[in-house]
Amino acid sequence: MSHGARTTPLFEEHIALGARMVDYAGWQMPVQYSGIIEEHTAVRHGVGVFDVCHMSEFRVFGTDAKAALNRIVTNDLDRIDAIGSALYTVMCDEDGGIIDDLIVYHSGDLEYLIVANAGNRETDWAWLTSHLPEAVEATDESDRTGLIAVQGPKALGLVGELAGADWSMPARFTLSEASLDGIGVLVARTGYTGEDGVELFCHEKNTVALWRLLLSFPEVVPCGLGARDTLRLEMGYALYGSDMDRGVDPVSAGLGWVVPRTKGEFIGAAAIHCIRSAGPERKLVGLTVPEGVPRHGHDVLHAGGVVGKVASGTYSPTLGHGIATAYVPAELSVEGTRFRIAIRRKTVEAIVTKPPFVKGTSLSASGS
């Protein structure tokens, strides 16, 4: 184990399951158990569970919480007026640079629950607390919160069975309380895989019990960060640090859809408006790579010259070939444009493809 790396409450469970561990954002996390492709396939066709306890959870409360938070995030919290509803957003600095991407849940009357990336916990906390007025309280609940994702076409059925006949599954992007075999949880119907499913929040002291409860079903497959990455990239979901960072704005990153034009004042609004009006110079595109596995940092070539680098890249288990994202000049971002990617000693073809790379998942079937 790396000196100084943090562990989640499920660390010993992963070791007992024979997981291969890796250091990720300062945490010892399972990259795979039975194998990335096997785990990926389980999520696409059955049900898989993921330890995502490393993620950050912040709660913001007060009469002014909504207004204050709405000035910090780009998406409009008016969209989640209904208690229990949630939305995906980014928060930016004054130059429009993305600080993090996150999900905001309207968890209570004057309360919002923010789930953010593990690697950005300190930055996000500092940013939030320095931009929230004194009257708005904020707490960092990450250490006392356990989080397990249950994803796949069979996920909802399983969770529904555990929650009992008197409970109904919330709508997509909504959360509600439940008791699973006596363990109190918040069930959020959100996820990062492209399959329908939930993310279960519990008190950290109940995380092991919840994990074991889920794994007591023989069809449930434990899945690591390796499968988490292949699943999300097949859908074209962004990964902070790979697809975007502080140096890029949401428009160039293909996240203009979480920055509604009609929204009032928020940090970065002016800068983003300028980029929108002028048109971004570079855009993040999806690339289909028929032969070879593209990886972060590989050069992207056009007409013999380097025009960009691969942001995210992997082998798609569903499609059986490589897929990637890369920032390329805006004039070359049209679907169908052909590039070449330099992979070690050779170059391979890459064709601009609008994500998702994989269609017809259980999530698309539910109409979201």
Partner 1 sequence: MYPKELKYDREHEWIRTEGDVATMGISHFAQDQLGEVVYVDLPSVGDTITAGDAFGEVESVKSVSELFTPLSGEVVEVNETLADAPETVNEDPYGDGWMIKVRLSDPAEVDDLLDADGYQAFLAEEA
| Least Å from the CB of residue 114 to partner 1 | 30
The SS3 assignment for 45 reads: helix
| Least Å from the CB of residue 293 to partner 1 | 6
| Least Å from the CB of residue 191 to partner 1 | 20
List 32, 85, 142, 318, residue binding partner 1 (CB under 8 A): 32
**Residue 325 binds partner 1 (CB under 8 A):** no
φ/ψ (deg, to 5) at 137: -85, 145
| Least Å from the CB of residue 315 to partner 1 | 5
**Residue 350 binds partner 1 (CB under 8 A):** no
Q: Which pair of structure tokens corresponds to residue 112?
A: 């919002």
**Residue 35 binds partner 1 (CB under 8 A):** yes
List 192, 211, 240, 315, residue binding partner 1 (CB under 8 A): 315
Binding range to partner 1, per CB under 8 A, among 34-42, 82-90, 118-126, 236-244: 34-42
**Residue 293 binds partner 1 (CB under 8 A):** yes
**Residue 30 binds partner 1 (CB under 8 A):** no
CA 71 from chain center: how many Å? 22
How many chain residues interact with partner 1 (CB under 8 A)? 14
Which positions from 226 to 265 touch partner 1 by CB under 8 A, shown as an x/- string?
A: x---x-----------------------------------
| Interface positions, 55-74, toward partner 1 (CB under 8 A) | none
**Residue 38 binds partner 1 (CB under 8 A):** yes
Say which DSSP state 152 is in: S
Q: What is the DSSP string of 308-333?
A: EEEEEEEEETTTTEEEEEEEEEGGG-
**Residue 37 binds partner 1 (CB under 8 A):** yes
E strands present in the chain: 20-24, 27-32, 47-51, 56-61, 86-92, 98-108, 111-116, 137-140, 145-151, 175-180, 183-188, 197-203, 220-223, 282-289, 299-302, 305-316, 321-329, 338-343, 346-353
Binding range to partner 1, per CB under 8 A, among 31-39, 43-51, 130-138, 239-247: 31-39
d(CA 184, CA 23): 30
CA atoms within 13 A on the CB side of 190: 25
Cα dihedral 55, 167, 87, 91 sign: negative
List 218, 278, 344, 367, residue binding partner 1 (CB under 8 A): 344
| Interface positions, 199-228, toward partner 1 (CB under 8 A) | 226
CA 86 from chain center: how many Å? 14
| Least Å from the CB of residue 19 to partner 1 | 12
**Among the listed residues 3, 186, 50, 216, the one whose alpha carbon sits nearest the alpha carbon of residue 107:** 186
Task: State the Cα angle at 177 between 102 and 218, rounded to 5°.
Answer: 90
| Least Å from the CB of residue 361 to partner 1 | 19
| Least Å from the CB of residue 154 to partner 1 | 23
Q: Which pair of structure tokens corresponds to residue 1?
A: 């184990």
Binding site for partner 1 (CB under 8 A): 31-32, 35-38, 226, 230, 292-293, 314-315, 317, 344
